[in-house]
Structure 1
């Protein structure tokens, strides 16, 4: 059974290194036999604001319905995006705010502080780009963006983070370095595609 991979590019612009990394991952995964679906944030048209929080439900736009369907369909998720101000871009966060709702991503217990992780059984790779050197990000900010996506988004809803890759600094990267990053993304896509899939 082919691995089902949902690739989501979370860059608000239509062209970026994030797209190039996703292209490399997707091509390698498909060549290795995986079935992929992909969505690009810049093509998604929706209201980012969860105005009422969880007190009132807001009708999901078609692209958000599609995004949720792809997430449920997938064995493995791939999120590719730039790190901005210690986290993900605001529009990308808007997708999560609107889509990862109680009843879809988690179910809070009526009594007590605990919850059920409704997206369990899936895994994820995260690719982040940054202008800050990775070592600086680790020493100064303790990898805040990595902790955000792994702990408070993916793991909270039951998705097992396989690996988070961070490439940087992008602004000073030479073509050879960028090509090496793309090769690393391709190698990861190939490896994930070849992993056994649960029946």
Structure 2
């Protein structure tokens, strides 16, 4: 049974993303999985990559711990809202600071290729949107989904990466949200 790490990238503790993250954990726990849920808003870190990758800033204790959790996990679950066709600044800052060279990937000298240091892990993205899915696909070309799946997770060797989107959240009612929560809980039970 895989060790699961759920990372909630929504900064608002009263958001639907918090409920989805808890729902996935509830399902995973009920199946006996070794599952940990982390809300990024509870971590103490500077999300700014001050020097780019020219100089890696020293990681705060919470980020060191998160790197250890990521290494120990076999399956990552990222829960977050789609804002401006991508993901929140809190989650982007976390990625910038944690998924650094030497941890998540390593450039090869005199080569355009790189080593994918997180290979062997799988991931699930749980994304909320106010934009209808069809519109996001047609007009935005799934920009945020592709940025996270291809540009971050697969770049570091994590695959397969599965995506489930819930939309539009803004106009959804209690019945629809309960259905979505049940769907996520089932994903947790199946550890997908």
TM-score bracket relative to the smaller structure: over 0.9
Separation (CA, whole Å) in 1 of partners of 2:119 and 2:142: 24
* Count of residues paired in the alignment: 192
Separation (CA, whole Å) in 2 of partners of 1:24 and 1:16: 13
1:66-108 Cα shifts (integer Å, max 9, x gaps) = 1111100101000000000011101110010011111100010
Contact 1:3 1:33 in 2 (8 A): no
Alignment of 1:25-104 (within 5 A): 25-104=24-103
Q: Choose 53-62 or 69-78, whichever is displaced more.
A: 53-62
Which 5+ residue runs of structure 1 have no aligned equivalent?
194-199
Contact 1:26 1:36 in 2 (8 A): yes
Which residue does the alignment assign to 1:191? 190
Separation (CA, whole Å) in 1 of partners of 2:173 and 2:37: 28
Which residue does the alignment assign to 1:197? none
Contact 1:120 1:159 in 2 (8 A): yes
Which residue does the alignment assign to 1:160? 159
Separation (CA, whole Å) in 2 of partners of 1:3 and 1:64: 22
1:93-132 Cα shifts (integer Å, max 9, x gaps) = 0010011111100010101110000000000000000110
TM-score of the aligned structures, taking structure 2 as reference length: 0.97
Contact 2:154 2:161 in 1 (8 A): no
Which residue does the alignment assign to 2:112? 113
Which residue does the alignment assign to 2:147? 148
Contact 2:119 2:157 in 1 (8 A): yes
Deviation of the 1:192 alpha carbon: 1.4
Separation (CA, whole Å) in 1 of partners of 2:66 and 2:37: 9
Which residue does the alignment assign to 1:21? 20
Deviation of the 1:7 alpha carbon: 0.5
Computed over aligned residues only, the root mean square deviation of the Cα atoms, in angstroms, reads 1.0
Deviation of the 1:8 alpha carbon: 0.5
Separation (CA, whole Å) in 2 of partners of 1:170 and 1:125: 19
TM-score of the aligned structures, taking structure 1 as reference length: 0.94
Contact 2:103 2:117 in 1 (8 A): yes
